Amino acid sequence: MARGTWGGSGDPSIFQVTFRFLRGTSHCQTGFKLRDTVTNDNTAQEVADEVFTQLAVAFRGMLSGLDSLESIDVLKLGSEEGGVHLLTAGSGGGSLTSTSTSQVPSFMCANVAMKSEIRKRYGQGRMFLPIANDSEFDGNTLHADGVTIIQSFLTPLATHFMGDPVTHDLLLVNAHPLLPVRGAVGAPGYRPEIPASWYDVVTNRINSTVTALRSRRVGVGS
């Protein structure tokens, strides 16, 4: 398992990637984090362009023709550096067949658990991926077609951004800022200070129970 710190001299860059998209007329987003496997090897704009190249078509495969992917935004954590890949009008439409009556509300989504090998809450992450049609689930549960649609995005995500750092320029990670000391030494629940850290994601697991988000703001839908 690979893990380390970020924000210090010699540490890899960590990038927050955000997909901004329209579900009907609702503005939504989801995203994940990537680390540079070579220190300062990529700019935020280069990351945005690479994610677009590798994942834009797959992401549009989760959206209906009534929806659209608007942009891929990237922020280099700990800095003001950002990059964006904007989609031109009409180029980001979803590829799922849909009608207005088969559309589900924009707050419906699939919860994907992003697991590192450290069994601590601060080393784990999650991502909320859009569910466009009522044909993807029965009751509260994704059925096989729904899982297949979500997996069609997770497969290229794993192919291009998970695996051996020797053969990948960018890798999917969970990351957090500095976590302060919690509790008192010797007391139940005590935890020492943990520096700003990253942890490579080793598996993505689809939760078959459909989720309803309370908000699609940054940090809630990503």
pLDDT tens readout for residues 133-171: 999 999 899 999 999 999 999 999 999 999 999 899 999
DSSP run (H or E) holding 57? helix 44-60
Given this model, what pLDDT does residue 4 score?
A: 95
In 93-185, where do the E strands start and end?
Answer: 108-115, 125-130, 137-138, 141-142, 170-176
Beta strands in the chain (DSSP E): 3-5, 14-23, 26-36, 68-76, 82-86, 108-115, 125-130, 137-138, 141-142, 170-176, 197-200, 203-206, 211-212
Provide the pLDDT for residue 40: 80
In the predicted model, residues of the chain with pLDDT beneath 70 are: 1, 214-222
- Alpha carbon dihedral 106, 112, 118, 120, in 10-degree steps, equals 50
How high is the pLDDT of residue 159? 97
Sequence-distant (6+) residues with CB within 8 A of 200 are: 1, 2, 3, 35, 116, 117, 162, 171, 172, 173
pTM, two decimal places: 0.92
* pLDDT of 90: 75
